[in-house]
Chains A and B, each alone.
Chain A
Amino acid sequence: MSVPEQADPPGEEPEVTRWRGTATDPEADRSQAEESTPEAVARLRRHSRSLLADLLRPHRRRLAAAVGLLLAQNAAAMAGPYLVMIGIDRAIAPLRAGNPGPLVAVAGAFAAAAVTEYAARRGFLALSARIGQAVLLDLRQRVFGHFLRLSVGFHERYTSGRMVSRLTSDLDSIAELVDGGIDSLVLAGLSILSVAAILLWLDLPLAAVTLLAFPFLFWLSRWFARASASAYRRTREAVALVIVHFVESMRGIRAVQAFRREARNQRIFVALGEDYRSSSLHAFRLIATYSPAIKLIGNVTVAVVLCYGGWRVLGGRTEVGVLAAFLLYLRRFFEPMQELSQFYNSLQSATAALEKLAGVLDERPAVAEPARPVPLPTGAGRGELTFGAVSFGYRADTPILAGLELTVPAGQTVALIGPTGAGKSTIAKLVARFHDPDAGTVRLDGIDLRDVRDTDLRRAVVLVTQENHLFSGTVAENIRFGRPDADDDAVRAAARAIGAHEFIAALPEGYGTQVHRRGGRLSAGQRQLVAFARAFLADPTVLVLDEATSALDVPTERMVQRALSTILRDRTALVIAHRLSTVETADRVLVLDGGRIVEDGPPGQLADAGGRYAALHRQWRESLL
């Protein structure tokens, strides 16, 4: 495996980066890496565009309506200066002659235009907010849903902080564009186009002079597009790192405080914030250059048109009113361009975020739903697990399992023991299909797990780990997580069976206690009990326990074990535990080492066999005295 660049001798690295240490997984810093190649950038750009198109597709009708309103608004807005011109050129002379008719007509038209503009603008803004919000909602749900579908392996690489950053900060920056009015972008574009048409119609030579500005505008915009795209990409990643650090230090705030980590954390946070600050500053300075440059081009054009137009009026080739109107329109031509540059900036920022999201949506779930799912057989006596020549490694260069063969008959309880890295948890994760094997198959009742629909698999197999995550909500809701359609009685029965009922009933609001709110603080052991009740309620065919009982006191553990022995009697179970009290209740013990099974047999038999298990067993007996 190639050593990443960070592996420089620590002494040569600046303090602010050394603390990070060296990632063993080169993928850990992937999101920076993914931007490095021009092909990858181009691919993401393309995908973000097609994502945008895809998001907008369901709103075609509304978009058409919005564009209609926009055109109406634009036409009405454009009519203003034109009516002013008519008013000046055509209405004043008749008025002097005592004929107010033309003026009244102009005034009426003007009022009509103003009201139309009002109605169209109001309708358009409301409609575009609805479209924008609907797109945001759709995007949010898509990205979130996709994150849920992606495999555990992906998440281990991507890390929770980045996921949070994608779904908050990146979406914010798209929302900013929606709020800021993507409409204004369109409107400004439209008004520039229509003004250009009017200018051409008003006075061709003057318009030709105006058009001279275009190559400059184009060149400037192309420069800005390129520079800001890469600048905003950097800000997205920089803010992600800020968020990652923030989330992690808030999550571990007890350790931070107990070990007086605050000052150093602060330095790191400030350093990360400084990266974000300087990358944002760079992006902002680009727009700080681009926008006045556009203004400059506009102002120079106005001055040139003024001279040239004045000269034409002097020569009698055009009228004063035309020149006046032309200059008015010219303002309307360059003013939106100013706005346009502003919105172009938001667009660039949003695009960088959209690229990140497109990158997530591009990830194919490594553990995919089968194209043609095979139903699991139903009925009693199910739950036979077979590992057929299974090889697996988290990284290609370090295999954990190599050609593992194992059959667990239905209803058997198997305890897995062995040193760190022996592959016990890996076997558990393969059974729960957190990963697919690199080679070979894991079968449940003869069916390759890859052919089983996720919902079927989850009903059949449940993995309980030491993590015992509780989601915010009530205790009852957390137990019901195992089987969402369970009624209250079933929830209570599960808690009772596992011995969790007493402590839950003693909570301030019993089963209705919010686990993440005041008074709902559960200890590690209580959380484990809730997690067990959840697994009990799920009632799977195969139960996998990965170090699930470590935080329990002895009587509680005993109670859980009694419950387990009932639960496990008629189902297949894989139990990973370092407490031999748990192991002893198993039908069969597997001792693993280096991804291979080195001992296999009933615990009683192995205890007498004189191998590793026997040694452990003896030590354990001694520790109890």
Chain B
Amino acid sequence: MPVESDGDPAARVAAGPHPVHNLWRLRRYLRPYASEFAWLLVAGLASTAAGIAVPLVVQRVVDGPVARHDPAGLLQLGGLALLLGVVEAVLIFIRRWVQSSSAVGMEAALRADVYAHLQRLPASFHDRWQSGQLLSRITSDLSVIRRFLSFGVFFLVLNLTTYLVVVLLLINLHLALGLLVAASAVPLLLISRRFGRHYHAASRRMQDQQGDVATVVEETAQGLRTMKAYGRGVELAARFAGGARTLHDTGVGKGRLLANTAALLDLVPNLTLGVVLVAGAAAAARSVLTIGELVAFVSLQLMLIWPVQSLGWIIANGQEAATAADRIQEVLDTPPRITDAPGALALPRDAVHGRLRFERVAFRYPGTTTPVLREIDLTIEPGETLALVGATGCGKSTLLSLVPRLHEVTGGRITLDGHDLRELRLDSLRRLVGVAFEEPTLFSMSVRENLTLGRPDAGDDEVRAALALAQADFAYDLPWGLATRVGEQGLSLSGGQRQRLALARAVLGRPALLVLDDPLSALDVHTEALVEAALRRVLRNSTALLVVHRPSTIALADRVALLDGGRITAIGRHSDLLATVPAYRALLAAEPPAGQPPPAGAAGPTAPTADGRGLVRS
């Protein structure tokens, strides 16, 4: 796949100089098993040789002891056949034993590498690739490759060798007949080549469709509640059925291709056998050939049937592996665009003042033409808190994502204490920045693990402080405390609880820069007030960039910037902007919904509930 942009899943072209080019590139995964492979090949060839020797022994038996009435010779040769048989079985055992470990080892190593690479690829890549397409690559495609490398490629070598050896033996037994058998390889070659070409295209189609189906499945699994709420099972089932049916049709097409070829591959050796029989019988009649030789010839030739018959499957398997390798290399060939520059700096936390500057920053999503952000100029002084305000969908979250370099600026630059962010080491930068996203992501793991995502070394005190700040002490009251599994496979938490944990995660370890996307949106008024008070103390020591929707949260900020149409249109103190900028007033004027008069003061303040949970939460 071309390496332009972030690897476009839409451009599904199997590029590359040769259909198996990408498969060949995977050979480095076999390198650790090179010596095993050598053994494997030796064992494989030896076992095949042992297998081939048996008919020769049979010939000796028929021509020798049987013809000469020699029971002792019979026993001897019988013993030889037994020995060869045992050797063959033992060698096969060794080969398969070795083969299994190298095949699964290779699969595991490749899967780990693809995963590692996917983790390095930026958000813009993941925005564009359907997750099912990625999933099908690390499951279906990898097992196809594993199957080919463990059996296909081996049998290809072995069967070709068997074929060659048998043909040579046949030529040795009887020149003319042997050459006749050798000539039958020509149609076999032609058939295989044609088949390989067609099957290649079909198997790529099938794998892409498998990815599409996996995408529908994953999406449905994610949107299950929405589906249930609207009772749209029928529609989703129809959508799935569409994908499944396409898969079915491709599968049937592939089956037909294989059927045509496999049958032809069967016919050719059979016809050859027929010709050999006639010619051989004629030769035997003229006593050019002994009957024993003819029997041996035919038995040997029967040994060709399996290698030829299996050729269809092996080619099919090989083509599937080749297209699967293409699909995997498409991912591996996509360069992670956001990486450490050569000579990138690591800034220790203590050395950071925290002056964050946006200089004529522009951003547009890859593959689009309209910029989301244009000419953003902003300076946030050390310790200052800047709130970012703007209408729904104006690019606030995008702007935040530029700070930890989840996306990369497409114009201008962002500096921290004068260093361009691109000159900092990525892990150093991300360690300095504490982030809370608008959708609090919790993984299926313990609360502690979720909190210490980026700081596995965080101590109990740090965790406690972060939880206290985010008013998330409820975590200690969960059934197993901080060891309780949350996330999809664990305890389900309310939106507010999740948001508080995400906030605790962001502030854990006092990062130099805080980037918080609407961090209090799911909290009730009471909890919000408590979090706000605590957050204010933290914000004094950190430079912070907040996205804010509510007037109540704006109080946290020293200054406010209004983002409109991808530009900063106003910047200043909340009260000043409220007074001078109509657009700002429209966004944040704290008037209650029309027709609701401000009520008179009600009863006394709510006492914080004993467990530290907010009152209005669910």
Contact = CB atoms under 8 A, between A and B. Distances in A.
Genuine A/B complex: yes
A447 to B, nearest CB: 17
B441 A618 contact: no
Interface stretch (B164-172, B462-470, B516-524): B516-524
A253 B123 contact: yes
Interface string A257-281: 1111110111001100110110011
Given A125-B258, A172-B140, A616 B615 contact: yes
Contacts of A293: 89, 93
B229 A463 contact: yes
A331 to B, nearest CB: 7
A289 B93 contact: yes
Interface in B565-607: 586-590, 592-594, 596, 598-606
A118 B259 CA distance: 10
B601 A419 contact: no
Contacts of B353: none
Given A10-B483, A152-B224, A160-B221, A87 B281 contact: yes
A247 B123 contact: no
Given A20-B445, A248-B444, A307-B75, A264 B456 contact: yes
22 contacts: A23-B490, A24-B484, A81-B302, A148-B233, A163-B217, A168-B213, A172-B139, A243-B139, A281-B100, A281-B101, A288-B93, A328-B302, A420-B474, A421-B613, A434-B225, A454-B233, A465-B226, A472-B215, A521-B365, A614-B602, A615-B615, A616-B606
Contact of B615 (A259, A418, A550): A418
Nearest to A473: B239
A181 to B, nearest CB: 8
A270 B111 CA distance: 9
Interface residues of B, number: 209
B237 A111 contact: no
Given A20-B445, A463-B229, A617-B602, 10 more contacts: A22-B480, A24-B491, A122-B262, A148-B233, A149-B233, A169-B140, A244-B444, A257-B404, A259-B435, A300-B86
Contacts of B132: 168
A190 interface: no
B69 interface: yes
B96 A314 contact: no
Interface string A152-193: 100110011101100111001001101111000000000000
Contacts of A463: 225, 229
A355 interface: no
A68 B235 CA distance: 40
Contacts, number: 621
A401 B84 CA distance: 76
A269 B113 CA distance: 10
Interface in B38-72: 54, 57-58, 61-62, 65-66, 69, 71
Given A260-B454, A578-B525, A425 B229 contact: no
Contacts of B492: 156
Contacts of B592: 581, 584, 624
A287 B147 CA distance: 14
Interface stretch (A45-53, A129-137, A222-230): A129-137
A164 B298 contact: no
Contact of A129 (B75, B235, B255, B454): B255
Given A261-B454, A472-B219, A253 B119 contact: yes
A550 B522 contact: yes
Contacts of B267: 114-115, 117-118
Contacts of A18: 446
A421 B528 CA distance: 18
A562 B594 contact: yes
Residue with the highest number of chain A CB atoms closer than 10 Å, among B69, B79, B115, B247? B115
B213 to A, nearest CB: 8
A525 B393 contact: yes
Interface stretch (A55-63, A197-205, A370-378, A551-559): A551-559
Which applies to chain A's interface (DSSP): helix, strand, loop or mixed? Answer: helix
Interface string B529-559: 1000000000000000000011110000000
Residue with the highest number of chain A CB atoms closer than 10 Å, among B231, B447, B505, B550? B231
B260 A621 contact: no
Which applies to chain B's interface (DSSP): helix, strand, loop or mixed? Answer: helix
B37 interface: no
Contacts of B277: 83-84, 87, 106-107, 110
Contacts of A252: 441, 443
B66 A314 contact: yes
Contacts of A10: 483
B85 interface: yes
Nearest to B68: A314
Contact of B256 (A95, A129, A155, A518): A129
A252 B435 CA distance: 13
Nearest to A18: B446
B602 A299 contact: no
A616 B258 contact: no
B103 A284 contact: yes
A311 interface: yes
Interface in B430-474: 430-431, 433, 435, 437-439, 441, 443-449, 453-454, 456, 474
Contacts of A467: 223, 225-226
A596 interface: no
A1 to B, nearest CB: 9
Interface residues of A, number: 213
Contacts of A617: 599, 602
B590 A555 contact: no
Contacts of A107: 274, 277-278
B92 interface: yes
Interface in B286-317: 291, 294-295, 298-299, 302, 306, 313
Interface string B93-128: 100110111011101100110011011101100111
Residue with the highest number of chain A CB atoms closer than 10 Å, among B273, B491, B604, B615? B615
Contact of A260 (B74, B263, B431, B586): B431
B193 interface: no
Interface in A571-625: 576, 578, 580-581, 584-585, 604, 607-608, 610-612, 614-621, 623-625
Contact of A508 (B150, B273, B368): B368
A425 B494 contact: yes
B391 interface: yes
Interface stretch (A35-43, A207-215, A319-327): A319-327
B505 A259 contact: yes
B522 A466 contact: yes
Interface string A132-145: 11101100110011
B85 A547 contact: no
A249 interface: yes
A144 B240 contact: yes
Contacts of B435: 255, 258-259
B139 A169 contact: yes
Give 6 closest A-B pairs by Cβ, nearest first: A129-B255, A299-B85, A21-B446, A458-B231, A125-B259, A259-B454
B549 A552 contact: yes
A239 B594 CA distance: 56
Contact of A270 (B112, B244, B449): B112
A20 to B, nearest CB: 5
A111 B108 contact: no
A615 B603 contact: yes
B468 to A, nearest CB: 17
A87 B427 CA distance: 79
B183 interface: no
A383 interface: no
A168 B232 contact: no
Contacts of A161: 221, 488-489
A280 to B, nearest CB: 5
A471 interface: yes
A93 to B, nearest CB: 8
B432 to A, nearest CB: 11
Residue with the highest number of chain B CB atoms closer than 10 Å, among A119, A331, A464? A331
B35 interface: no
